Structure 1
Amino acid sequence: MRIALFSDIHANLPALEAFFADLDQRNVDMTYCLGDLVGYNIWPNEVVNEIKKRNIPTIAGNYDFGIGRMSNECGCAYKTDHDKSNGNVSISFTNEIMKPTERQYLRTLPAHIRVEYQLNEDKLNLLLVHGSPRKINEYLFEDREEKSLLRIMEHADADIMCFGHTHKPYHRVLNSGLDGGNSHFRHAINIGSVGKPKDGDPRGCYVVLTIEGNTSVLDRNSIQVEFIRFEYDVEKAAKGVEESPLPNEYADMLRKGY
């Protein structure tokens, strides 16, 4: 089973179109979207409709949650007054151009998707969230303390947990079967961002997860996680920002991947 996972498009239609073009060559069995379809660019309605057209199972990101309710709060953790001011412009602009049908779609997106596999008489739980199982806008960065990350996954009964929100991809394998017990490997996978990368690489990013018939929580190497980077027309997306009421700084972020 080859599963494609993508997230954090943030109204970047050129990036989404390039993602689909790349994905169509990958021969995947399932595709899931982990949210944040809107915000920060000029094509929120078009992005929603592309996702709907393909019938892709999708969960709500924090931005989707806010815009779906026509809130002036996106749940973003802006660190400075400058960032907060720019963010307010983005929220206001997105609310202004969002159409009723597309807004209703955002409003009704589920919070999580859980998929349970039965392999080798073992259960394998795949949990898809936006920020974390605890909170839609919780940031799970790569340097999260191992005990904390394990506790989150154990409480959620997640053997494989995929998430976005930070826009910085990584894969960590954690062993929750220590202290004399059998190994029980859990995989925490941040799938990066299709439309607003923040890891210094402006290319879009998504993950293909491969689960085989012999995949087991007892074998740390029995699942494959492939991070795929793809080129897209960054300049078109950046100019879309610059020709709109959105802050020009958002265009620079797209060009430099921060």
Structure 2
Amino acid sequence: MKIAAISDIHGNLYALMKVLEDIDQKKVDLIVCLGDLVGYGPHPNEVIALIRRRELPCIKGNYDASVVDGGFTYIRDTPINSFALPWALSEIRVSNKYFLSGLPTTLKYNFEGVKVEFVHGSPNSINEYLFEDGPNTKEIMKDFSSDVLVCAHTHIPSLKNFDEKIFVNVGSVGKPKIGRPNATYCILDINGPNDIKVEFEELEYEYKKIVKDCTMLNFPGNIVKSYETGQE
């Protein structure tokens, strides 16, 4: 069973289209989206439309939840978000907010006898950051009841084994924090409990298009620069 896991698209249609094109060439069995379809980028409605059109299983990210909630409940109150959240609230169609509100916060599957759980932040919280060497990650994996935890939210891809359990962070399609303006996602190839392969994909895309769109919409310079540098 080959599964592609994508996340943190953040309104970046160009990156999403490139990633889906790459995934389609790899002929995976399933694509799972770990949320944050919106926020920061200028194409939230188009991203949601593409995810819905492809009928991809999808969970709710913390930015999705904040757009539904209408406040800073699940995101940090930063200078960037003080622009990005109100802009998203005014831009996203009511039908798309309703779609985001109905998304689950976790998805669980059994692939070839391997229990896999998909979350956005952590199994405990939609906006908890899990880094591979973080003490909270170690504690969560110690009590984790499935075999593989697949998360996102940090925008940094990572992989680590915790005894017989596997921790995977898929990175970010639309707003990477890897120091390069490239989209990242993950492919899990599961053929049984003793045959689990995890590969990260990093793709160049035409990021100058989103830079141009943001500039034309008078987005703050720090948002524009983040697409150019791959840094927050």
Q: Does 1:98 align with 2:59?
A: no
State how 1:201-240 maps to structure 2 within 5 Å.
Answer: 201-212=180-191, 215-216=192-193, 219=194, 222-240=195-213
Offset at residue 230 of structure 1 (A): 1.1
Tell me what 2:3 maps to: 3
Offset at residue 151 of structure 1 (A): 3.0
Quickly say closer, same or farther: Cα 1:5–1:252, change in 2 above 3 A: same
Offset at residue 143 of structure 1 (A): 2.4
Residue 66 of structure 1 aligns to which amino acid in structure 2? S
Offset at residue 153 of structure 1 (A): 2.9
Q: Which whole-Å deviations, capped at 9, do the CAs of 1:104-153 have from their partners, x for residues lacking one?
A: 0011100000112453xxxx2100000000000000113213xx424313
Tell me what 2:228 maps to: 255
Tell me what 2:126 maps to: 136
Tell me what 1:246 maps to: 219
Q: Which whole-Å deviations, capped at 9, do the CAs of 1:161-196 have from their partners, x for residues lacking one?
A: 001100000100111xxxxxxxxx111000000000
Offset at residue 156 of structure 1 (A): 3.8
The whole-number CA distance in structure 2 between the counterparts of 1:39 and 1:101 is 17
Offset at residue 247 of structure 1 (A): 1.1
Quickly say closer, same or farther: Cα 1:231–1:31, change in 2 above 3 A: same
Residue 130 of structure 1 aligns to which amino acid in structure 2? H
The whole-number CA distance in structure 2 between the counterparts of 1:245 and 1:157 is 47
Unaligned runs of 5+ in 1: 79-83, 176-184
Offset at residue 202 of structure 1 (A): 1.2
Offset at residue 229 of structure 1 (A): 0.9
Offset at residue 74 of structure 1 (A): 5.7
What is the aligned residue count?
A: 231
State how 1:24-173 maps to structure 2 within 5 Å.
Answer: 24-69=24-69, 71-73=70-72, 75-77=74-76, 84-117=78-111, 119=113, 124-145=114-135, 148-173=136-161
The whole-number CA distance in structure 2 between the counterparts of 1:77 and 1:156 is 27
Q: Does 1:199 align with 2:178?
A: yes
The whole-number CA distance in structure 2 between the counterparts of 1:223 and 1:193 is 22
1:126, 1:158 within 8 Å by CA — same for their partners in 2?
Answer: yes
Quickly say closer, same or farther: Cα 1:235–1:74, change in 2 above 3 A: farther
The whole-number CA distance in structure 1 between the counterparts of 2:31 and 2:219 is 31
Offset at residue 154 of structure 1 (A): 4.3
TM-score for the superposition, normalised by structure 2: 0.95
1:67, 1:94 within 8 Å by CA — same for their partners in 2?
Answer: yes
1:41, 1:240 within 8 Å by CA — same for their partners in 2?
Answer: no
Q: Which whole-Å deviations, capped at 9, do the CAs of 1:22-76 have from their partners, x for residues lacking one?
A: 111011001100000001011000000000000000000000011123x121622
Offset at residue 100 of structure 1 (A): 0.8
Choose 1 or 2 for highest CA Rg: 1
2:141, 2:162 within 8 Å by CA — same for their partners in 1?
Answer: no
Residue 195 of structure 1 aligns to which amino acid in structure 2? G
2:112, 2:190 within 8 Å by CA — same for their partners in 1?
Answer: no
TM-score for the superposition, normalised by structure 1: 0.86
Offset at residue 11 of structure 1 (A): 0.1
Give the SS at the match of 1:143.
coil
**Percent of residue pairs identical:** 35
Give the SS at the match of 1:65.
helix
